[in-house]
């Protein structure tokens, strides 16, 4: 593999402010030394204060983008982010097996306000059809609660929810991100055999826009390089922690994480 460039694909929405979505994924892929490709599902007008508009691409165009990549370029790992409706999900469900590559799902389902971003039937389709295809699904606490329909308030709850997503929904592994807990930044992963915890100090900052996208993109990048899942998550936790520690204070709202922060920390 030393002479082969790892190639990672993101299937997600666009963030016009550059902090999340496709833009965050491609920045992360580049920083972690893999070649990034993208399939656009939705276009958003957004900035650090929120989302001002959304336009979803038709399923046919999403399929055409996927086919263009599939027929020409090897995909070593793939991730999905914002998938707004069943039409998109059906296209993606048909495509994922053909890549024969690790699949990371960042289930963008719930807004920061707590409002659901997809319809109940779309959530059911995602749970029944897409989650069983995943190598790892990476919800935050709100998303995990939305999927499992369980209350998640403690690390113990996170562990049970991760097990539910594996044994109940068929995920290859489930990584539940604990950034919203009022304690240390603890993430919990269950791979069907063992529970792992990944803990760092909580960083006091409001600038966390795109954290989930960036974290899952880092896992995808490391998987594209052939790392085992646990190692990929460990390295990604280090990457996202550095990105949050050196996040940008730009805009009037919640600024983005710093995708090149890891380089600065290595130099220090």
The β-bridge partners of 188 are 176, 197
Sequence-ordered alpha helix ranges (H) in 51-119: 59-70, 86-99
Query: Residue 165 in 3-state DSSP?
Result: helix
Q: Which of 10, 138, 148, 211 is catalytic?
A: 211
DSSP structure class, residue 84: -
Locate tokens 């939305």: which residue? 146
Catalytic residue among 18, 81, 212, 255: 212
Identify whether 206 is a catalytic site residue: no
Active-site residue among 210, 214, 237, 257? 210
Provide the 3-class DSSP secondary structure of residue 204: coil
Q: For the CA atoms of 233, 234, 237, 241, what is the dihedral angle to 10 degrees?
A: -160
- Catalytic residue check, 211: yes
Residue 5, φ and ψ in degrees, nearest 5 = -80, 120
Residue 177 known to be catalytic: yes
Q: Spot the catalytic one: 213, 220, 237, 255.
A: 213
Q: Measured between alpha carbons, how far is 51 from 54 in angstroms, rounded to an integer?
A: 8
Where does the chain have alpha helices with state H?
21-31, 59-70, 86-99, 120-125, 141-148, 155-163, 211-224, 229-245, 261-267
Q: How far apart are the first and last CA of the chain?
A: 30
Q: Exposed (0-12), middle (13-18) or buried (19+): which is 203, by Cβ within 10 Å?
A: middle
Q: How far is the C-alpha of 191 from the C-alpha of 48, rounded, in Å?
A: 34
Active site residue 7: no
Q: Which of 27, 79, 159, 177 is catalytic?
A: 177
Task: Indicate which residues carry an active-site annotation.
Answer: 177, 208, 210-213
């Amino acid at each position: 593999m030393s002479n082969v460039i790892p190639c990672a694909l993101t299937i997600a929405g666009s963030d016009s402010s550059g902090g999340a979505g496709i833009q965050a994924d491609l920045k992360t892929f580049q920083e972690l030394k893999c070649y990034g490709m993208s399939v656009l599902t939705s276009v958003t007008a957004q900035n650090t204060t929120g989302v001002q508009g959304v336009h979803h691409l038709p399923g046919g165009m999403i399929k055409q983008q996927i086919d263009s990549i599939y027929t020409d370029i090897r995909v070593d790992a793939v991730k999905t982010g914002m998938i707004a409706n069943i039409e998109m999900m059906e296209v993606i469900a048909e495509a994922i097996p053909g890549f024969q590559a690790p699949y990371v799902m960042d289930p963008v389902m719930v807004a920061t306000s707590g409002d659901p971003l997809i319809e109940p039937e779309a959530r059911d389709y995602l749970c029944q059809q897409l989650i069983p295809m995943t190598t790892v699904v990476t919800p935050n606490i709100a998303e995990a609660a939305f999927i499992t329909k369980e209350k998640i308030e403690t690390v113990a709850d996170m562990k049970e929810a991760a097990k539910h997503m594996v044994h109940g929904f068929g995920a290859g592994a489930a990584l539940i991100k604990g950034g919203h807990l009022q304690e240390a930044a603890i993430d919990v992963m269950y791979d069907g055999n063992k529970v792992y915890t990944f803990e760092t100090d909580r960083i006091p900052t409001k600038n966390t826009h795109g954290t989930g996208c960036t974290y899952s993109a880092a896992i995808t990048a490391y998987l594209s390089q052939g790392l085992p899942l646990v190692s990929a998550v460990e390295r990604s936790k280090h990457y996202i922690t550095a990105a949050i520690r050196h996040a940008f204070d730009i805009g009037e709202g919640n600024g983005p994480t710093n995708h090149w922060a890891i380089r600065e920390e290595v130099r220090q």
